[in-house]
Amino acid sequence: MLAEVLADIHVPRHGKGRPRTRPDAVIADKAYSSGTIRRQLRSRGIAAVIPEKSDTIAARERRGSRGGRPPKLDTGLYKNRNVVERSFALAKQWRALATRYDKLAITYRAAVTLCAILTWLRRLGDTP
């Protein structure tokens, strides 16, 4: 699914130019620390801010010098991961989003977009 999510990224630039399609970094938890995900991000030139699983660390250390180097982790950037978690918690307050009542994907996506817009407007202080 990561390749599909990355393919959907289109952030318009200010002024002229084609939209950005590559984020600077992907911040994720240990569940996304597989080698496949790290290879996909590395091939696109995206920094992976993902900590290693404890069993992966143990396996690498067991191999000694043949285990390779641990992946780099920007701990300062990783501490901001909770912003995404809080955004999901806000979206789940909408009952229709949390339970996925909508049958069509386009309707569900519209509800997610509407939720994001209203949340953004509230943060700006322009409550509708």
Burial of 6 (0-12, 13-18, 19+ CB in 10 A): middle
The mean pLDDT value of the chain amounts to 85
Helical ranges in 54-104 per DSSP H: 54-62, 75-78, 82-91, 95-99
| pLDDT at 109 (0 to 100) | 87
Q: Cα(65)–Cα(14) distance, rounded to whole angstroms?
A: 48
Mean pLDDT of all residues in 38-47 = 91
pLDDT of residue 5: 87
Q: How confident is the model at residue 51 (pLDDT cuts 50, 70, 90)?
A: very high
Q: For residue range 95-112, list pLDDT tens digits in order.
A: 878 787 778 888 888 888
What lies within 8 Å, CB to CB, of 13 at 6+ separation is: 19, 20
Q: What is the mean pLDDT of residues 18-31?
A: 88
Produce one character per residue of 49-58: b if its CB has 16 or more CB atoms within 10 Å, e if not.
bbbbeeebee
pLDDT per position as a tens digit, 109-126: 888 888 888 888 887 875
Structural domain spans, the chain: 2-80, 92-128
